[in-house]
Amino acid sequence: MKKIFFLLIGISFFTSCKNAETETQNEITTKTSTSPNLNCLSKLDLRYDELLPLDDVARILNMSPDEFKTKTIDRKDSYGEVYYSWESDRPSQPSPVSVHVMVPDNNFIGFSSLNAYDADLPKETFLERFDTAYKEMNEEEIAQMEARMEKHLENKTEEERETVKGFVGARKSSGFEKVDNLGDAAYWRFNTERGGEMVTLSGNETFTVYTKISHDAHENLELAKKLAHLIMDNCN
C-alpha cells in the first residue's frame, strides 16, 4: 500500500513539473539543502508519545493527565502513532463499521506518519513535492495527472491499477486547504464526523496531527497548530 501511495505522489509530481525547466544532476547536487532541521525528528530516535508527550498535551488543554486514555503503536517510523482521547459531551454516533451500532463520540488528538524526503534534494524540491501532494488541483492538473497515471500503470496488476485509481479519485477531492505560517508548509482539512487532519512539512520531514475536540473547524485547527509547534519545538 505504501509503495502504491508513493507511486501516486510521483505521478502528481511529474505532472506538476511538465512545464518546468529540467535540472542536471550537477545542478541538483550543488543546490542540496543545508537546513539544520534535516531529519531532525528522526534523528532524535524518540517514540511518538515522546515527541508529543501526554503531560504537554494536558497542559495545552488545561486538563489532568489522568483524564486521558492513551493508544500507541510503538514504532519509530511512519507506521507509529499516538492517540490521546477523553470523553466529550456530544451524543454517540454510528460506528464506521455499522450504522446500527452507536459508539461514543469521544474527543481525541493524534500524531502519526513521520516521513522524510531525500535529504540530498534541494529545499525547493521538498516544498514542490509537498504542495503537489496536498494542494487543490485545477482541471488541467487533474487531466495531466490522469494521463501520467495511465502511463505509469501500463505494467501493473489490476489490483494495483484499481488501488491507484482510488487514490487519484481521493486526491481530486481531498479537501485540503493551505495553512499559512506553520513549519515550511502545512495543509488542513476538517470533517464533523472524523475531525481535523493537518499535515506539516518541517525541514525535509512531514508528519500528521489529528484533532477532534468539537464540531468547530477553527477551534480544532488552532489546537492542531499548537500541537504541530510542540512537535517541531523538539528540534529547537
Give 171-183 pLDDT, tens digit per residue. 666 789 999 999 9
Instruction: Summarize the confidence of residues 58-63 as an average pLDDT.
Output: 98
Which residues lie closer than 8 Å to 186 by C-beta, 6 or more apart?
178, 179, 198, 199, 200, 201, 228
Q: Which runs of consecutive H residues, i.e. helices, occur in the chain?
A: 2-16, 25-30, 40-43, 48-51, 54-61, 123-134, 139-152, 158-172, 217-232
* Cα–Cα distance measured from residue 205 to residue 114, given in angstroms and rounded to the nearest whole number: 7
Instruction: Summarize the confidence of residues 95-123 as an average pLDDT.
Output: 91
Strands 185-191 and 102-103 turn out to be: unpaired
In the block, residue with C-alpha cell 508548509? 185
Q: Which runs of consecutive H residues, i.e. helices, occur in 44-114?
A: 48-51, 54-61
* Cα–Cα distance measured from residue 158 to residue 236, given in angstroms and rounded to the nearest whole number: 47
Task: Evaluate the CA torsion angle 220, 221, 226, 229 in order and state its sign.
Answer: positive
In contact, 205 and 46? CB cutoff 8 Å: no
Predicted pLDDT at 12: 46
In contact, 75 and 92? CB cutoff 8 Å: no
Residue in 219, 236, 235, 234 with CA at minimum distance from that of residue 109: 219
Q: How many of the other CB atoms lie within 10 Å of CB of 55? A: 8
Half-sphere exposure in the Cβ direction for 208 (13 Å, CA): 18
pLDDT at residue 71 greater than cutoff 90 = yes
Residue in 162, 124, 143 with CA at minimum distance from that of residue 12: 143
Q: Which range has the worst mean pLDDT, 55-59, 128-132, 159-163, 223-227?
A: 159-163
pLDDT at residue 17 greater than cutoff 60 = no
In contact, 20 and 140? CB cutoff 8 Å: no
Instruction: Summarize the confidence of residues 124-150 as an average pLDDT.
Output: 82
pTM of the entire predicted model: 0.78
In contact, 149 and 165? CB cutoff 8 Å: yes
pLDDT at residue 227 greater than cutoff 90 = yes
